[in-house]
Structure 1
Amino acid sequence: MKGEMMTSDEKIKLVEELCMTPGISGFEEKIAEIIKRELKDVADKIEVDKMGNLIATKKGSSKKGPTVMLASHMDEIGLMVSYIDDNGYLKFATIGGINDQMLMNQTVVIHSKNGDVTGVIGSKPPHVTKPEEKKKVVPYDEMFIDIGAKDKEQAEEMVSIGDPITFKTWFEAFPNNLVMCKALDNRLGCYVMMEVLKRVDSKATVYGVGTTQEEVGLKGAKVTSYKLNPDMAFALDVTLSGDHPGIKPEEAPVVIGKGPAVILIDASGRGIITPKYIRELLINTGEKEEIPYQLEVSSGGTTDGTAIHLTKEGIPTGVLSVPTRYIHTTVSVASMDDVENTIQLIVAAINSLEINFKYIFSILNTF
């Protein structure tokens, strides 16, 4: 199949394209176009809804087979122009969860109607920074972007209020099959979803969904899960990797290189509590197929899975995540080996589903 025939270099190039392509929350169109291109010869149907969610349907080999939704959010964190001052400097709002500390002195790209404009988030030089100021994190609303404009009039010719802003960075292939870039959260999930659709051969009909606005409220997943109402769903995302200095093992026990994380609970249960059947499906598949995986009980953030499992009468939902260092920064790091194992695990799990899925699920009485 197409996914299996791709060389290692081709896979890396596709991940690079996904990560380097801009698409903050609400502006995911270019990511949807990549997914559409990759799946046009794989899916039986591709559609984009009113919120910009992309839905690619691959029909199962049996009309009586279950339906499975794979949700991978397309959006990345970013900024938006909120004000232009008299001297041509820009103020901005943050879009998604951003630590103010990582913003200072970043190079950014403002995506305007006239084309991309490069800017820098400026700061005081150390020569005039007071000792007490050096110890404080500057809040984002005290920062500004310098685009080289001489005044407000020139700046308004270059950019407009409401223009989305992404971080200007690069993609790097590290040793040990690691990759570094912005937006690994969640372009890795998008890549996993596409590869699963390319490889899966199941009785089940699979919906590959690129969701919008996950970083600002799981919005796209709420809409698409209501529309599709699948028998079961999986959110494909990334999770914190606790294998670097500054994190205690008990804070983030999942690490890079040991396979995807099967999420048992996230947000201390305020998010998803994975149903027994879904949990056992993933764990048993991993054991049977000898695919490495890790288990995670998280007190931190959540994913599209939270919105999906509360839709209509309830949709049995699981979350499978790629361990990633430095999430929500411009220098996230993850393993392509973990990505591949994520793909293999979810493909094997879906391929194992039988026509009597609903009957088995009702017997287990787990949801």
Structure 2
Amino acid sequence: MKRYLNILLLILIFILSSSLKMHSVPTSKKITLNSYAAVVIDQNSGRILYSKNSDIRLPMASTTKIMTTIVALEKGNLNDKVIISKKAASIGGSNVGLIAGEKISLEELLYGLMLRSGNDAAIAIAEHIGGNVDNFLKMMNEKAIEIGAFNTSFKTPHGLDADGHYTTAEDLAKITAYAMKNEIFNKIVSTKEISSGISGKFNRSYSNINKFLYRVENADGVKTGYTGGAGKCLVASVRHDYGRYICVVLNSSDRWKDAEELVKYAKENYKFIKLYNKGDEIKSLRVFGGKSRYIISLTENDVFIPIKSEEAQYIRTEAFVPSVIFSPIKKGDVLGNLVIYYDGNIIAKYPVVSDRDVDRKNLINTITDTFKSITIK
């Protein structure tokens, strides 16, 4: 009850402050884009702040390499040494100039992939991580399903046009929001120039071809793309006080301007309100088979939600957490979700986590507990 009262108080304060300073709270404005499809989301909440044809399946060119990179980071080691195959060295399109038989670190390949959009690096990475390209594509598609990008299909690790190779602006935003939580991924895509890394001095120096990094304050990624079938594409990330805006622009005649317009729209039309603090208690859960009988589910981080001023009174939250759970449990394990609704529709989800470790009972624990219960009676 105290939690709901605090939320209502925050919303009331937000409404009152908005009415007292109405001149400083912009209303929703129309936005003109040059792209066929686009979306901007808040990274942490996942809320879509603006969309245009964002659920239509489209080719995505080299923005494909976002998934190539995150799979490689999760499956490989930056210090791995990769021997470049003839297949990788001979791939067409943009490349970093890899030579068959050359030995190069996985780390350098990833910088070549994301800063220079190297198709040769994409093939080399796929062969190294998957054993062959087909196996790596399976990993990419499995990861897409895991992230929740259900309208995405990868047929290449580099993004050159291919039948059945597609995504949607929304799916690509989800994939990017996930990837940007990886510190190494974030470091790679935000880098402007580099010639050495944790694996040592690189074989080459790399400068980033993503002009968005140089055009917009607080931009920290992510990837450009272009093919004849996909047109000019861009996935952009911009940091703000409560996280990041993730923008996706597909098939645009002016991708830089479109991404800037999306960020501007998000900033002008949405304000962030805080619903929960990190570590707030959400629900108590019964534990079966554990040394502790109960655990508490907590918010993993501060919960900020982007809303328009007129939406505040229609925001509500609901916890989807089981009543019982089986041991063992580790502190920080995700137990469920805190779901945010606007006007009855889900607009965001935040994980809730365990407040403690709970080990599984062994035979001695079980006998001891049984003896105690008999003694008490």
Larger RCO of the pair (alpha carbons < 8 Å, separation 6+): 1
Assess same fold via TM > 0.5. no
Structure holding more strand per residue: 2
- TM-score under structure 2 length normalisation: 0.23
